[in-house]
């Protein structure tokens, strides 16, 4: 990959989640990003308000997307937990598809692999009926920990609309490197997420979770092999930044986003 700019990058919702859905869209357009992700089905503890059942918010999101011209890359993550009911996700899938999302992200939170696989298969079928792909995000502190595990569970659905999301941080913290992507079929890599971090890994799962949710660096600000990762990702795969920054928490969301956008642009301009 070469000559990337922010127009080639989606802004991930977690980067400045406290901006709110509309603020995130407007900020992404103002900073020059080419697309956006939104968390349409928040999980407990997510710093964004619920959307389903709020017609005013849905109207405002629709207007903001239309006014910005930004396409919706993905509609955020669904955690598959022991108590997950796929029927409860259908309204969110309907809204995501209606807003033009390409993917719904899935995170594994169920230690019962058979139930996790069954729920993933049902969700993938429902997403397929709505024209959505399902991108599995592997995270070392969840029940789908590595890119190889994510691929295996995606293939087991038997549907081509199920693949993997490769997050630079989670790839590194799971013990992987960009070379691991050589074993992943190109048509199963749906999204690449960019951020940076120190080479040293946090010592506990709680610290890893905090890092992933709050303590990332902008691309180029750490030690992750991002250029190698970009070289190994399939040509044309959608790219997204996910850079929640606790060190910038004293700044308003829009100002925080401008800093992240400027740093990301400088990384892209430095050559891939």
Query: How many Å apart are CA 19 and CA 208, to the nearest integer?
Result: 24
Over residues 233-260, the mean pLDDT reads 97
Q: For residue 152, what pLDDT is reported? A: 98
**139 in a structural domain:** yes
CB 173 within 8 A of CB 140: yes
**1 in a structural domain:** no
Query: Would you list the DSSP string of 24-70?
Result: HHHHHHHHT-SEEE--SSPPTT-SS---TT-HHHHHHHHHHHHHHT-
**59 in a structural domain:** yes
Query: How many Å apart are CA 35 and CA 16, to the nearest integer?
Result: 15
The whole-chain average pLDDT of the chain stands at 96
The DSSP element (H or E) to which 210 belongs, if any, is: helix 205-214
**62 in a structural domain:** yes
CB 128 within 8 A of CB 103: no
The count of structural domains within the chain is 1
**89 in a structural domain:** yes
CB 99 within 8 A of CB 72: yes
pLDDT tens digits for 140-189? Answer: 999 999 999 999 999 999 999 999 999 999 999 999 999 999 999 999 99
| Helix, strand, coil % in the chain, rounded to nearest 5 | 45, 15, 35
pLDDT tens digits for 180-216? Answer: 999 999 999 999 999 999 999 999 999 999 999 999 9
Which range marks the domain in which residue 244 is found? Answer: 6-269
What percent of the chain has pLDDT above 70? 99
Identify the CATH number of the domain in which residue 22 sits. Answer: 3.20.20.150
**183 in a structural domain:** yes
């Amino acid at each position: 990959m070469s000559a990337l700019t922010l127009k080639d990058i989606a802004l991930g919702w977690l980067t400045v989640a406290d901006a709110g859905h509309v603020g995130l869209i407007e900020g992404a357009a103002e900073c020059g990003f080419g697309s956006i992700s939104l968390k349409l089905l928040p999980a407990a503890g997510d710093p964004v308000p619920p959307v389903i059942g709020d017609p005013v918010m849905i109207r405002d999101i629709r207007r903001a997307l239309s006014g910005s011209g930004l396409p919706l890359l993905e509609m955020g993550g669904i955690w598959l937990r022991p108590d997950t009911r796929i029927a409860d996700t259908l309204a969110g899938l309907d809204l995501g598809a209606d807003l033009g999302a390409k993917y719904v992200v899935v995170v594994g939170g169920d230690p019962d692999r058979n139930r996790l696989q069954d729920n993933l298969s049902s969700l993938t079928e429902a997403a397929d009926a709505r024209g959505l792909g399902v991108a599995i995000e592997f995270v070392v502190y969840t029940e789908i920990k590595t890119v190889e595990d994510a691929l295996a569970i995606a293939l087991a659905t038997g549907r081509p609309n199920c693949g993997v999301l490769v997050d630079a941080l989670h790839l590194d913290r799971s013990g992987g490197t960009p070379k691991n992507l050589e074993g992943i079929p190109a048509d199963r890599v749906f999204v690449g997420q960019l951020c940076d971090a120190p080479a040293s890994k946090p010592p506990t799962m709680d610290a890893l979770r905090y890092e992933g949710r709050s303590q990332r660096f902008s691309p180029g600000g750490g030690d992750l092999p991002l250029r190698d990762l970009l070289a190994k990702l399939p040509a044309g795969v959608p790219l997204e930044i996910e850079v929640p920054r606790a060190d910038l928490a004293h700044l308003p969301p829009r100002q925080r986003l401008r800093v992240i956008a400027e740093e990301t642009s400088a990384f892209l301009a430095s050559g891939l």
